[in-house]
Amino acid sequence: MSTKWWQNEIVYQIYPRSFQDTNHDGIGDIQGMIDHLDYIQELGVTMIWVSPIYKSPMVDMGYDIADYQDIDPQFGSLDEFKVFLSEAKKRHIKVIMDLVVNHTSDQHEWFKQALADPKSKYRDYFIFKTTDDGDVPNNWRSIFGGSTWEPVADEPNTFYFHTFAPQQPDLNWENPALRQEIYQMINWWLELGVAGFRVDAITHLKKDLDWASLPADGSDGLVSVIKKGQNRPGIDVFLNELKQETFDKYDAITVGEAYGVPEKDLKKYIGPNGYFSMIFDFSYMNIDVLNTDEWYRGRSQWTVKDLREALFESQQVAGQVHGTLANVLENHDQPRVLSKLVPDKHDQTPTAAKALATMYYFLPGVPFIYQGQEIGMKNFVRKDISEFNDVSSINNYQMALKDGYSKESALASINDKSRDNARVPMQWNDSKFAGFSDTEPWLGMGNDREGIDVQTELADENSVLNYYKKLGQLHHDLAWQSVTTTGDFQPIDSLPENVIGYQRILDGQVLTVFVNLSHELAEFDAHNVGDRLEKVGDITIDNDHVKMAGYSAVVMGLNAN
């Protein structure tokens, strides 16, 4: 397997708004990110992904960009960002930005010009359509609900297209001039010293140009935009060009948010000459819901077997194309993993958080840690929809009511799945605002946080935080680094149904991981697994017989060299 400069990275995702406020406005900022670089470094982290800090009206919390080359004053300034870059560099930490080029904000200068003057060159930077009868051009449903078409004020029968919220007009990638502007902007950031990008919503760049309606798939008479605007034929032209004109020139690292890539196309995405360095493994991200766009439809009855199969299948398929996956338990779009993958509240313990960490940390690919995951943060429970900020949570709630669900059941689904679960302020200590801010934060604090904060956990050698540090050390341990990074992946079959087990194998070295993801005792035999490198919970191994208490995990290492 070829080696890449980024293959040993451990990545930490900062959601700046909720990380650390230093200027007393209840919103996190760049100075707050600078202040915690030592903390991040101690986790073994070598790269930081910064969620959008560009100028934005924040309808979708920065994923609606009004100026690609400026920092929103809520977060600080470009100069402060440069300080962040150089302070990170001193600690051997690279920085990747979030690249959101499927759409802008409706407050972007290009879009304002496109509206102000239909003859301006910017009109064709976006997607406008006029219909004869004043009906919307087709029945596609946007990801956040409702039609993908928004009427243009003062222009009868005219609409613009948006895959996400109406305030996020899609860019028209069919236009070569637009593409060139985007490439220049990307290269400007790379010149500034960022190591690469997490690439947002990238499989949406190409839409079917017949713009044809399809049979409805919901009671609203609409059909999900993903059927006509995700991974559509022709997207390869855009993605190849994007790579050649930008990333390749700088040997940049890119992590695609690439929902819906069919197995047959995976090679094009992450094979040796793929569009991206890696893409996120989302195979099990939405295992907890029946429908990923309409969460209100309820939770799925997933099993550990389903989770194991999803995890292993994506690793095996990625291995076949010699591609790398970005391994994630959490991000800013998902509930907290402890709440999601541990169904019984009583089991949502620090031990379970550590077991989950063990499960994904040694998979082939690059581990990503989302802020707060490393201390075992959990979901919150809100009593009223007014306590939510996230545009998609609020839309889902409204859709549920329209669909006849009661307020209680709509709220219960939103509490379970809302993106705000991950967006509550980071818990640095046990004070009122958790050391995040000294004033009321922009989003309410989590309400299940006793014992779950950095200060408390630093003082406890058995804490989730200290366990993540140990995992970081093991990941970088020179004795095991090669096998962790490039070892073959081998699932272990014939284990009890709630145990996930796999091996990484390279030149006589074998790393074995067992995780019991249930509260029941699990027993099985395991041969030639070597010595214990890390352990979570009660585990005995006697004459090759393994006994694992509920929510326990172990990493074993065998070195025949």
Is 241 part of the annotated catalytic residue set? no
**CB 10, CB 45: distance < 8 Å:** yes
Hey, what's the torsion of the CAs at 382, 383, 386, 392, to 10 degrees?
50
Residues forming contacts to ligand NOJ in the complex (CB under 6 A) are 60, 63, 100, 164, 200-201, 257, 332-333
The structure tokens 């919970």 sit at 537
Is 200 part of the annotated catalytic residue set? yes
Choosing from 9, 257, 390, 420, the catalytic residue is: 257
SS3 35: helix
Shortest approach of ligand NOJ to residue 157 CB, angstroms?
A: 28
Main-chain phi, psi angles of 113, to 5 degrees:
-65, -40
Choosing from 29, 72, 98, 200, the catalytic residue is: 200
Q: 314-349 in b/e burial notation, b at 16+ Cβ within 10 A? A: bbebbbebebbbbbbbbbbbbbbbbbbbbeeeebbb
Shortest approach of ligand NOJ to residue 290 CB, angstroms?
A: 20
Shortest approach of ligand NOJ to residue 412 CB, angstroms?
A: 22
In the complex with ligand NOJ, the residue whose CB is nearer, 83 or 287, is 287
Nearest to 99 by CA among 183, 18, 225, 213: 183
Shortest approach of ligand NOJ to residue 331 CB, angstroms?
A: 7
Q: How far apart are CA 252 and CA 305, in angstroms?
A: 37
Nearest to 332 by CA among 393, 383, 248, 265: 393
Q: Which residue is nearest to ligand NOJ (CB)?
A: 63
SS3 117: coil
**CB 475, CB 10: distance < 8 Å:** yes
In the complex with ligand NOJ, the residue whose CB is nearer, 178 or 201, is 201
In the complex with ligand NOJ, the residue whose CB is nearer, 256 or 364, is 256
Q: How far apart are CA 548 and CA 523, in angstroms?
A: 6
Q: How far apart are CA 443 and CA 446, in angstroms?
A: 9
Shortest approach of ligand NOJ to residue 140 CB, angstroms?
A: 16
In the complex with ligand NOJ, the residue whose CB is nearer, 374 or 420, is 420
In the complex with ligand NOJ, the residue whose CB is nearer, 201 or 325, is 201
Q: How is residue 277 written in tokens? A: 């360095």
Shortest approach of ligand NOJ to residue 201 CB, angstroms?
A: 4
Q: How far apart are CA 407 and CA 401, in angstroms?
A: 7
In the complex with ligand NOJ, the residue whose CB is nearer, 37 or 59, is 59
Q: Where are the beta strands (DSSP E) in 83-178?
A: 94-99, 128-130, 140-141, 149-151, 158-161
**CB 106, CB 166: distance < 8 Å:** yes
Shortest approach of ligand NOJ to residue 332 CB, angstroms?
A: 6
Shortest approach of ligand NOJ to residue 109 CB, angstroms?
A: 19
Sign of CA dihedral 277, 483, 526, 516: negative
Q: Which residues are catalytic?
A: 200, 257
